[in-house]
Structure 1
Amino acid sequence: MSLRLRLTLWYSGILAATMLVFGIGLYFFLNYFLYDGVKDELSQEAQITYSRVQKSVALSLKGLVVDLELENRDLYSNNLLLQLYNVKLKSLDRSVVLQLNEISLPVPPVEKFKGTTAYFEKTKVAGQDILIYYMGIYDSFNQPNELIGILEAAFPIGHYETTLLKLRYALMLWAIVTIVLAASFGWFMSRKALKPIDQVIEAANQIESGDDLEKRILYEGPRDEIGRLTDTINGMLSRIQVTYSELEEAYRAQRRFVSDASHELRTPLTTIRGNVDLLEKMWKSTSGSTELATPDQMQISLEAMQDIAGEAQRMSRLVNDLLALARADAGVEMDKTQLPVLSLVQEVVRRSQFLTRTAEWQVGDLSALEDAVVYGNRDYLQQLLFIFIENAFKYTKEGYVKLDALRSDGLVGIRIEDSGIGMNKEDVPHIFDRFYRADLSRGQTSGTGLGLSIAKWIIDEHGGSIEVKTRKDEGTTFIVWIPASFPLTV
């Protein structure tokens, strides 16, 4: 059963119950109001007639009995139907109207008057609805409280019953028409009110099929519950779209990462296999001969072994870099302690002069690092600086690479400046992406494209930042900013 139908049935049911209670209340109120007036009038007329009943003592076969008669004025009454029943004599004294129509009112049993002296009763006489008021007449001479007669005053109530019957039919018809109209109107209104729900379902179905994540629910109604629900669903759809886009980008980055890693690993493996095949051929060519290898063969063998060693070392670096990034992705926390920055940087400066390079190595002013202490990991911070220094040497064939230090508002900065090939401004946002190489030909300079990604992870773990300044063919400057404290010295 649909929500629309349930709402309509609930609405119609509540309205029907309300109409039923209202109709029954109205009917019984009017019934009581109409008959209350009739009963008052009938009882008053009966009391007057009762006071004029003539009583006389008569001799009968049963002895002395009280004879009862109506006065002439009561006999000819046109307002009431009167009948006087003598309990002892079993005789009736009726008004003229009853006599002419040869009608007698029903005589109640004497037991009806036990515990009461008068009561009302509705009945049918000669096919007509009448209301009868019965009053007991008691002996006041010989035996007090003995019922000797019954006075019956009746009034036709056919027109009242007809009115009430018509009222019942009118209330029933009105209730049916009202419920049908209300149900039709409720069905229409529920359809209009629940239309946004249908739009929500339609949008959800489209999202489920995955063909339109930009679908939104159009709602121009008031900001009621449906309006707020629509806004909530639209907000949720927006978040789903953003999350889905981020997941798609993450999947693309993962596929690109696997592809690049496979490419980087395949290159040294191809070199190693080629040189191994070469050494195997040379060994076979000399294995059955008494002559030693020629100097040219020895030189070729030496170069092949050097290539194998170099490519193996390159693969080792690549695997170490991938391991470092895997640890970063896994959320591995570094062991950190309070470190004096100056001694750490001086150690990096000393070891950097032994790196393979063609540019001049310059060390600037490091006084900004005096007394500065950082909370970090010594090995990772040194690796961070070596990454930038090695990159500077790699992309600076001639000119200089310079390192100096800065200080600013609780931060120390290590600046690595070179006069190398620089970068285009379009490359800067991507230099920290994995396997990204700013040089157009990946074989132009050696490397895996993972160094700056590792550097970014290290600086993020230390709560620092990296500032980049570069211009094509004019050089690049990296400034590594790290939070530091400066203890007071005595």
Structure 2
Amino acid sequence: MSIRLRLTLWYSGLLAATLLAFGVTIYLFINWNTFADLKEQLRDQDRNIVVTGLTNFFDQLDLDLDRQSRIEEKDMYIQIVNYKEGAIKQSYNLGQLELVIPYPEASTNPEKGIVKVQVEINKKKYNMLVHQRPVFLRDGTLVGLLQVGSIPYNEEKFLTGVRTTLIFASLVVVLIAFTVGLFIARQALRPIERVIQATELIEKGSDLSVRIPAFGPKDEIGRLVSTLNVMLSRLETAYNELDEAYKAQRRFVSDASHELRTPLTTIRGNIDLLERMWTKVKETNLNNDSGEWLPLDSDRWDLSKEAMSDISAEAKRMSTLVNDLLALARADAGYTMEKTPLDLLPLTEEVVRRAQLLPRDAEWRVGDLSPLDGIRVYGNPNYLQQLLFIFIENAFKYTPQGYIELSAIRKEQQIGFVIQDTGIGMNPEEIPHIFERFYRADESRGVTVGTGLGLSIAKWIIDEHQGSVEVTTREGNGTKFTIWLPVTFSDTDHSTIIEAADGMAE
């Protein structure tokens, strides 16, 4: 619910409550004022009737009812109840209506003053205000009841009209106030709408140079707009500085990777050459005196060989690190891979062949690769091979015994590579972090070599191919990675299309 609607509902509700209290007060005042006059007339009429007598109630009473009941302001109905003999004497107009005013039993103490009763005239029920006065003999015996009543039909009709008018007028006023208030709130909050539109434009376009237009006086909203513009200016400056630093960092990593590749290649080439030369010298060594080749000193040879092995290993490790940094630099720079439709089975068979030559302690197994037969994906063959090698080398690294198996599965329009090992496994809590750069599980630090960049590169390759990866692991029971890639075309789909075309031709 918007602020505009909430504000409108709040003050509309407040106005409705105020009108309700005001209407109830006005209605109660009119009600009291209207019935006050009628009640006073009933009291005056009661005072004008004189009841006298000694012991015989009817013989001694002077009740000229017809004469005393003629009142110009209101029709009055007079009734005398005789508890002693159960007789009732009424005014002429009450007798014409064949109406008996309800009265209490003689055994009870009758209520004195104005009471409200209900009577029925011509099968219609009406309310009647009755002024009751008990009649006593001189010895204090209750012998009867004098009732002076009037039907407030016009008064009740008038009050009904007043009540209806107040309710209808209040509803109309609240409705008008709600409509006008909604319009006023919209006009008052229009600057906030402009602020929202400007911020949404910045959010969608990522353009921090956009500023919120300032209109109107420097009120609270005006100050808010000014503060937001200043904040956006500072954010733009900070963002530009960070962006420049990030670009410089990417350029440095990329340049450093390129610059390091050449000397590392040279070092590795020279080391290989020296290794071949030393191997040849070790086999034969020429003696200048005798003209015979003598064996090389074994201690010197072992020391030199060990030094060259260390240099070669470190050079390989640095070369791997540089290649990984270069791949990540390309990913950060938004490098777009060149992709073409390619068959997965020949690519996977090449990976299987080359994986057999990798150093390992566990058994290398090849599972069911038949789901790859006829499957094509839209991708880069070099990066897909690198992707599989990353997971396979990772499995070799953390599987000191047991086996590593590569297989394939098909699910709808996706093909999956399954790399499963029986290695040391991982804590499930580490899974969300294994694709982070330079992250390595605590159990493997210091035990296995690596940079912690392989899985980060693998995740980038998977994302570039619109794929996904699933990880199932348990400490001490190995790990299973399932790499899903979207299928572009398969022989099965091709056969289906051909069959459908043949069916249409027939």
If the length of structure 1 is used for normalisation, what is the TM-score?
0.48
Larger Cα Rg: Structure 1 or Structure 2?
1
